[in-house]
Amino acid sequence: MFRPIPLTKAILALMLGIAFFFTACQPRIVLEKEVLKEAPPDHFALAEDYWQRGELDKALDAYGAYLKQYPSDKNSAVALHRMAEIYSQSGQYEKALDLLRKISRQFPYYTDLAAVHYQIASHLFSLSEYRDSVDECLKWLEEFPWHSLKGDVSVLMGNNLRALGDNSGAFKWWLRAESELVDDLKRQAELNEKLEDIIRTIEIGELEELEEIAADTDYAPKVYHRMAALYLEQNELEKSQNAAMALIRSTPEQYWVSAGRQILESIQEELSVKKGVLGCLLPLSGPFAIYGQEVLNGIELGMGMFNETGDAPDLELVIMDTKGDPELALTGLEELANNEKVIAVIGPLSSRAATASAKKAQTLGVPMITFTQKEGITEEGAMVFRNFLTPSREVDKLLDVAIRHMGLKRFAILYPDNSYGQFFLNIFWDRLEEMGGMVTAVEPYKTDETDFAEQIKKMTGLYYPRPESLTQELLAMRTPEEEESIIFPEEPQPIIDFDMVFIPDNFQRVAMIAPQLAYYDVLDVLLAGTSAWQSPHLIETAGDYVQGAIFSSGYFEGLGDAGGDSFVEEYKANFDAEPGILAATGYDTIKYLMEVISDEDVRTRRTLKKALLYYYFDGVTGGISFDSHGEVEKESLLLTISGNHFSVFR
């Protein structure tokens, strides 16, 4: 059955249909989503992250990118500051300086501006722009007197002034820094070292400027002590005494009071020295007596003790016999220095006695001129001098002639088994190899030996027998001529595979060795030795066996001038012997000292020590002067034996 639709529902349906019809016929509208632009990268945050992680190259690039995009942003000053620090860490101070100055110009309200200006001054110092750095420091102190970097700026001021040579200014600023950095123990220690370094290194004039600056500080005693010591060294005894007294008054510390009193005692010791009294430490008995007596002969002759006119100089010589014993040498030295008040000491002669005495002479503050050949003896101190050729100079001269001028290449060494022989063995061998020579035989001997057959046979291949198996084999292969040699045997011939034999020993031993070398057919070989060969007794006892031999020396009478000839004649007349190198050295040493002491400015041991470093004396052994280490500046001669006399090797 049909049911009719209500009117209202029909109308609603009709309207929905019409709406659907029109919607379906309209073109379709598509709504698109909005595309957002990507935010720019945060270079500053990235740079800070790199900075925190220590990746400085990446941080530098990131800070640069940030500044390129935002040159005047709120973080731009920080970025510039970070870049400056990175450059400074790699030592690129010019680049860092440019950036720091840019901050100063463009960002006057930057919160860390005090650090920026301090770093500008610091980098100027690193670039050796000390004057500009000083100006920056002074401006900093005007602008930021309240800042915690004030102590650092004071240190920097001191560094600049020290570099500019203004030591008193540096001292003043470092003292100020010390008071401003009281809580920083490490910086306090560094400043203390800087302040003490100034006191240790500056000269007396600048120390006088420090006297007022250091007053009432812990550094006053140190300043006064160095002033007193320097005045004493310069023989300004009154000024030294005043400084020592000021030292004692400046502090209650027992250490400095004792130091001041020691200087006062040294001053009294200097004032008590007898200018006209010289000490002499020589072995006049015992195994070295022959050498000590020869030196003493030369000294006494030089003093004019045998002068018949009676016009000998007003000079006293106090002699102590060391017997070659180090202990006796030390006892004698103390007696001469402390009781006899000598102004200087001549001797000792032996190496052991000289070594012990050199250390003591330095402690006592008495100049000593020794004759030992021990290397390095003058390194014991500024009071120790040597007027004798060193082994190295002797060997250098000998080998220079043997290798470079004579063309010798192969060498044998026959040496005494004692410290003298062993030392010459080592230095000869070392220098020989440096110059391209070769050692083909080396043999030691005991110092009490008189028969050297065993050593000579070993050097020439005569000592070692052939193995039994080799002997049997040779017997089976012998010829008729060799059978005859068995019936009429001949002595084996020496194998001479060296051009020169070096014998570092005295003339007595050489006089025994040379004939035995000839006995075992060691012929046509050059014999060579040291200055210990130089004695006429060598020619008297073994002249035929040492013809053509060469040895180093520091003296030869044939080279002397009129004064040298006079010395030789006087020596012969008074001692009935030819003078050797020891006599000539003793003669020259006393003559030299007499001339130096005659200077009115030489009144104490210290002034004598200073004078020894610049006086020159023309003696019979040649010109005498000492270098800054106390070594005599003298060239070695080379002598040879020709006939019955010595002559200079040409």
∠ CA 103-108-114 to the nearest 5 degrees?
A: 75
Q: Looking at residues 533-551, what average pLDDT do you find?
A: 92
In a domain, 565, yes or no: no
Q: Looking at residues 397-405, what average pLDDT do you find?
A: 93
* Cα–Cα distance for residue pair 47/216, rounded to 1 Å: 52
Segment 161-184, tens digit of pLDDT: 999 999 999 999 999 999 999 989
Position 478 scores a pLDDT of 54
One domain for residues 509 and 601: no
One domain for residues 116 and 198: yes
Position 345 scores a pLDDT of 97
Segment 376-386, tens digit of pLDDT: 899 999 999 99
* Cα–Cα distance for residue pair 198/221, rounded to 1 Å: 14
Q: Which string of DSSP letters, residue by residue, matches 122-175?
A: HHHHHTT-HHHHHHHHHHHHHH-TTSTTHHHHHHHHHHHHHHTT-HHHHHHHHH
Position 78 scores a pLDDT of 94
pLDDT band at 33 (very low <50, low <70, confident <90, very high): very low
Q: Is the dihedral of CA 53, 58, 59, 62 positive or negative?
A: negative
Mean pLDDT for all residues in the chain: 87
Taking phi first (over 0 means left), then psi (-120 to 50 degrees means alpha), and beta for anything else, what does residue 347 get? left
Q: Are 224 and 247 in contact (CB under 8 A)?
A: yes
In a domain, 531, yes or no: yes
Q: For the beta carbon of residue 52, count every other beta carbon within 10 angstroms.
A: 9
One domain for residues 305 and 405: no
Segment 86-134, tens digit of pLDDT: 999 999 999 999 999 999 999 999 999 999 999 999 999 999 999 999 9
Position 23 scores a pLDDT of 47
Q: Are 489 and 426 in contact (CB under 8 A)?
A: no
Position 319 scores a pLDDT of 95
Q: In terms of residue numbers, what domain contains 368?
A: 273-387+575-626
Domain end position, chosen among 270, 286, 321: 270
Q: What separation in angstroms does the CA of 287 have from each of 290, 492, 578?
A: 8, 40, 21
- Beta bridge partner(s), residue 412: 441, 501
* Cα–Cα distance for residue pair 388/394, rounded to 1 Å: 11
In a domain, 431, yes or no: yes
In a domain, 407, yes or no: yes
- pTM, full prediction: 0.64
* Cα–Cα distance for residue pair 633/589, rounded to 1 Å: 14
Classify residue 25 as exposed, middle or buried by CB count within 10 Å of its CB (0-12, 13-18, 19+). Answer: exposed
Q: Are 322 and 283 in contact (CB under 8 A)?
A: yes
Position 484 scores a pLDDT of 53
Residue 67: give its domain's CATH number: 1.25.40.10
Segment 184-233, tens digit of pLDDT: 999 999 999 999 999 999 999 999 999 999 998 999 999 999 999 999 88
Our count of domains for the chain comes to 3
Position 152 scores a pLDDT of 96
In a domain, 408, yes or no: yes
Mutual angle of helices 237-250 and 254-272, in 10-degree steps: 160
One domain for residues 178 and 309: no
3-state secondary structure (DSSP) of residue 413: strand
One domain for residues 139 and 242: yes
- Beta bridge partner(s), residue 106: none
Q: What separation in angstroms does the CA of 574 have from each of 283, 288, 436, 590?
A: 21, 22, 48, 18
Q: Are 313 and 594 in contact (CB under 8 A)?
A: yes
In a domain, 6, yes or no: no
> 194 versus 463: which is more confidently predicted?
194
Q: Looking at residues 316-329, what average pLDDT do you find?
A: 94
Residue 507: give its domain's CATH number: 3.40.50.2300
One domain for residues 263 and 380: no
One domain for residues 87 and 149: yes
Segment 571-602, tens digit of pLDDT: 999 998 888 889 999 999 999 999 999 998 88
* Cα–Cα distance for residue pair 175/444, rounded to 1 Å: 65
Q: Is the dihedral of CA 151, 153, 159, 162 positive or negative?
A: negative
User: What is the DSSP-derived secondary structure letter of residue 72?
Assistant: T
pLDDT of residue 21 exceeding 50: no
Q: For the beta carbon of residue 65, count every other beta carbon within 10 angstroms.
A: 16
What's the distance, Cα to Cα, between the start and end of the chain in Å? 165
One domain for residues 222 and 94: yes
Q: Cite the DSSP H helix spans in 524-616.
A: 536-542, 562-575, 581-597, 605-612
pLDDT of residue 387 exceeding 60: yes
One domain for residues 195 and 258: yes
Domain end position, chosen among 553, 584, 610: 553
Position 481 scores a pLDDT of 58
Q: Are 540 and 508 in contact (CB under 8 A)?
A: no
Q: For the beta carbon of residue 108, count every other beta carbon within 10 angstroms.
A: 9
Q: How far is CA 248 from the centre of its chain?
A: 35
Report the percent of the chain where pLDDT is more than 90. 67
pLDDT of residue 30 exceeding 50: no
∠ CA 571-390-624 to the nearest 5 degrees?
A: 55
Position 306 scores a pLDDT of 80
In a domain, 561, yes or no: no
* Cα–Cα distance for residue pair 386/376, rounded to 1 Å: 10
Segment 475-508, tens digit of pLDDT: 555 555 555 555 545 566 778 889 999 999 999 9
One domain for residues 579 and 591: yes
In a domain, 365, yes or no: yes
pLDDT band at 560 (very low <50, low <70, confident <90, very high): low
Position 419 scores a pLDDT of 84
pLDDT of residue 474 exceeding 60: no
Residue 60: CB partners within 8 Å, gap ≥ 6?
83, 86
Q: Which of 199-203, 449-453, 483-487, 622-626 has the lowest mean pLDDT?
A: 483-487
One domain for residues 483 and 617: no
User: What is the DSSP-derived secondary structure letter of residue 336?
Assistant: I
One domain for residues 208 and 332: no
Segment 46-58, tens digit of pLDDT: 999 999 999 999 9
Structure tokens at 405: 């001028």
Nearest to 85 by CA among 125, 51, 49, 130: 51
- Beta bridge partner(s), residue 441: 412
Domain end position, chosen among 217, 237, 270: 270
